[in-house]
Amino acid sequence: MKRPYIKLLGLIIVLLTVGLVFTSLQTSKKYKFDTKAIELHKELVSSTHFIDPQKASEILSKQHDEYIFVDIRNPREFDNFHIEGAVNVPMQQILDDQFISFLKNDKTKVLYSNESIEADQIRLLLTQFGYSNLFVLQGGANYWKENMISKDVFKSKGEYDDEKLKFDISKLTATE
Amino acid sequence: MKARFILSLILVSLGLVAAILPQKKNSSIELDAQQLLNEIQQENHLISTDEMANALINNDPEYQLIDLRSETEYKQYSLPGSINIPFEKLFDAEWAPYIDQIARKNVFYSNGTTLSSEAWMLTKQRGFKNNYILQGGLNEWYTTIIEPEVPASINGEEAINDYEARLGAKQFFTGAGAVNNASANTDAKKPVARKKKKMVAGGCS
């Protein structure tokens, strides 16, 4: 009477093991995805992935070969204005096969869009999917056009931080 | 014989536990890179300062503002009704009921848009729904709601209507000019109907 009971248990164990292996194989990708967001969050908190215009102009003037500027705006905007030596990879096409080897090469890429929000999101997206060595230009093309025009002429110091408050905080609550 | 039975029982319970665990991990929906890229480009996750001001004026319970700045900055000034979840604490267990929920629209904001868009990307990657970004952050809040720019007349009627709505909003949020300009009160309610359609666009994300 005890024997068939144990056989049944054995069968359940085998089935569970098979099921477990099967489901863990299926879900391992999703699990990784989840942890990656948390790792990315820690990375964002502990280090910066921004390059301010000042630093970018230094890079340009010293002609550092290890850096490359990547303009993720559309070709029309790129033709209209772009940073010297920048390569145009429109964000719509950033995941296309033709750019994989470019994104994977050793050079440090400095992404920029009109402001910094899109470049920042694209950087996160690419980091999430395994690319490294990516930075974002603070202020983007708009700030550059307004203030940095050529690498020798600065209207401002080039210290731009998107998260800096641009006005006096007390004005927000001003009454009378 | 008895030992074998106990052993099997342990194995079965272990198996059961193990089988249930990974399923909890992926309760959220995974996006692939292309989907995420599409979402970034569609910009349905951006909520304009006008839309937000409007929601606050109308006391719209659908929106939950989340201030991602430091506690010090939050205490100094914050938008009405907002809660403070400093960016570095975004995934702390205590905030999970806020950022992973389906009842309300969370609107992340910071001084600019860096923290808010990063928070959006991360929560999106984890499959959380209903998170949005206040476009332009507090800097844009200031230039559009608190000190709105006077439109040039060539901008047409719509720009002027926008401006009037913003003046109403300004009065609502700062209390400026409340005494001498009673008619501005009605202006504050103006944008209600007009802005609604934008919100619908952001519904399914």
Owner of token pair 């989340």: B66
* DSSP state letter for B70: -
Whole-number CA gyration radius for chain A: 25
Cβ contact, residue pair B175, A120, below 8 Å: no
pLDDT at A88: 96
pLDDT at B30: 58
Chain A: residue nearest B179 by CA? A176
- Spatial distance between the Cα atoms of A92 and B34, rounded to a whole number of angstroms: 9
Which positions in chain B touch A20 (Cβ < 8 Å)?
15, 18-19
CATH classification at residue A136: 3.40.250.10
Among A62-71, B111-120, B145-154, the minimum mean pLDDT is found in B145-154
B73-112 residues touching A, CB cutoff 8 A: 76-77, 87-88, 90-91, 110-112
Q: Which of B19, B113, B174 has the CB atom closest to A175's CB atom?
A: B174
Q: Which residue has the higher pLDDT, B77 or B24?
A: B77
pLDDT band of B177, cuts 50, 70, 90: low
Coil, strand or helix at B63: strand
Distances in whole angstroms, Cα of residue A84 to Cα of each of A49, A123, A156, A160, B113: 21, 21, 19, 19, 26
Fold of B30-205: Oxidized Rhodanese; domain 1 (3.40.250)
Q: Which of A20, A30, A161 has the CB atom closest to B25's CB atom?
A: A30
Q: Which of B5, B34, B142 has the CB atom closest to A6's CB atom?
A: B5
pLDDT at B108: 97
Residue B20 has pLDDT above 60, yes or no: yes
Which is nearest to A56 in space by CA: A110, A129, A121?
A: A110
C-alpha neighbours within 13 Å on the C-beta side of residue B70: 6
pLDDT at A38: 86
Which positions in chain A touch B146 (Cβ < 8 Å)?
171-172
Cβ contact, residue pair B125, A128, below 8 Å: yes
Total count of domains within chain A: 1
Contact A16/B at CB under 8 A: yes
Contact A110, A60 (CB under 8 A): no
Contact A36/B at CB under 8 A: yes
* Helix intervals (H) in B26-136: 33-42, 49-57, 71-76, 96-99, 114-125
When mean pLDDT is compared over A73-77, B187-191, B196-200, the highest value belongs to A73-77
What's the helix, strand, coil split of chain B in %, to 5? 60, 10, 35
Q: Which residue has the higher pLDDT, B152 or B118?
A: B118
In a domain, A36, yes or no: no
pLDDT at B194: 40
* DSSP state letter for B112: S
Which positions in chain B touch A94 (Cβ < 8 Å)?
37
pLDDT band of B155, cuts 50, 70, 90: low
Q: State the amino acid at position A63 in one-letter form.
A: Q
End-to-end CA distance of chain B: 57
In SS3 terms, chain A reads as CHHHHHHHHHHHHHHHHHHHHHHHHHHHHHHHHHHHHHHHHHHHHHCCCEECHHHHHHHHHCCCCCEEEEECCCHHHHHHCCCCCCEECCHHHCCCHHHHHHHHCCCEEEEECCCCHHHHHHHHHHHHCCCCCEEEECCHHHHHHHHCCECCECCCCCCCCCCCCCCCHHHHHCCC
**What domain range includes position A94?**
50-147
In a domain, A2, yes or no: no
In a domain, A160, yes or no: no
pLDDT band of B195, cuts 50, 70, 90: very low
CB atoms within 10 A of CB B148: 19
Cβ contact, residue pair A9, B19, below 8 Å: no
Among B36-45, B78-87, B182-191, the minimum mean pLDDT is found in B182-191
Close Cβ partners of B17 (under 8 Å, ≥ 6 residues apart): none
Residue B131 has pLDDT above 70, yes or no: yes
The distance of B196 to chain A (nearest Cα, Å) reads 25
Contact A30/B at CB under 8 A: yes
Low-confidence ranges of chain A (pLDDT < 70): 1-3, 23-35, 149-157, 173-176
Among A12-21, A85-94, B113-122, B136-145, the minimum mean pLDDT is found in A12-21
pLDDT, mean of residues B116-123: 93
| Region class of B50: left (phi > 0), else alpha (psi between -120 and 50), else beta | alpha
